[in-house]
Structure 1
Amino acid sequence: MSTVIEQPVEARLVAAAPRMPSIPATLHYDRSDPFAVRMTFPAPATLEGVEVCWTFSRELLMDGQEEAVGDGDVRVRPYGYDRTVLEFHAPEGTAIVHVRSEEIRGFLAATNALVPVGLEHLQLDLDHDLAELMRDAA
């Protein structure tokens, strides 16, 4: 069984300049980091011309399907039944994208099949992580 899930999604950038009706993005989940998801935007879709990757909690993405959540750099909220809004806040500015909720729900279902919600802690090897931390500190 694979330990990684990657799903391409179509994101619609709100108030884009230059105007870009939709951009490809990829949602990524790795069982070795069970509480997190990543959303990556390719270089041509960014103002800086470099790939941009945002990491945030799977719980934030799940909860954002039902209500507005997030107080930090990433915020998620439903936009009707068929769209989800993701806001990415950085010192350079804010990017707001709409993604089809169906794509996000499908991705979340796949992550839940790989690592059920509430059992993420079973994927962690705390002894190994502590040993690595202590090795790096020496």
Structure 2
Amino acid sequence: MALVEQYTRVRVVSDAAETPSLPVALRYDPAVDPATVTVSFPHATGGGDRSFPRSLLEEGLRAPAQSGKVRIWPCGRVQTVVECHAPDAVSVIQFDSTDLIRFLRRTYTAGARYEAELTGPARSGPAPAPAPATTGPAPAVTRPAEPKVSG
């Protein structure tokens, strides 16, 4: 099984004096969609899942990136902001970038493992026969003509 699930805490970005810290789950399942990651919020906070391209998460760690209703950008050296738009609300959360980097590394390892499971083990049969040797002169190598220099 190649499912990756990583729990971490995020800060909700708002204009409130106190910014709450919430637990979230980062999920990746290559059997469902190898190009998508999901952030799952706890049900006590209104819950819900936000899915977006894994490549967007990787791009957003280095520079501002957007796909559809999700924007991701680095915030200083150690934080990353994820902004998700829904019909009735906008959520802005801040991650420690190291948590996202660790998660992405695990997704690439899991994706490669899943691909290997699909293709199966390498065949261990006899080696293919070598190509027959050719006889006769070697093909001529042509070189471009030297440019004429007028002077």
Q: Structure 2 length normalisation: TM-score?
A: 0.69
Gaps of 5+ in 1: 124-138
| Residue 72 (structure 1) aligned to one of 54, 68, 73 | 68
Say if 2:25 and 2:39, in contact at 8 Å, map to a contact too. Answer: yes
- 1:112 equivalent in structure 2: 108
* C-alpha deviation, 1:9, in angstroms: 1.4
Tell me which residue corresponds to 1:81. Answer: 77
The percent identity for this pair of structures is: 32
User: Residues 32-65 of structure 1, C-alpha deviation per residue, up to 9 Å, x if partnerless?
Assistant: 110000000011223xxxx210110000000000
Unaligned runs of 5+ in 2: 119-151
- Equivalent residue for 2:30? 31
Closer/same/farther in 2, CA of residues 56 and 83 from structure 1, 3 Å limit: same
Larger displacement relative to structure 2 (35-44 or 9-18): 9-18
**TM-score normalized by the length of structure 1:** 0.75
Letter aligned with residue 20 of structure 2 = P
Count of aligned positions: 115
Looking at structure 1, the residues matched to 43 and 17 of structure 2 have their Cα atoms a distance apart, in angstroms, of: 14
SS of match in other structure, 1:15: coil
Larger Rg: 2
Structure ranking higher in helix proportion: 1
Runs of 4+ in 1 over 3 A off after TM superposition: 16-20
Q: Write the distance in 2 (CA, Å) between the matches of 1:18 and 1:78.
A: 23
Specify the SS of the correspondent of 2:20: coil
How much is the aligned-residue C-alpha RMSD, in angstroms?
A: 2.2
What SS is found at the alignment partner of 1:62? helix
Q: 1: CA distance between counterparts of 2:49 and 2:4? A: 15
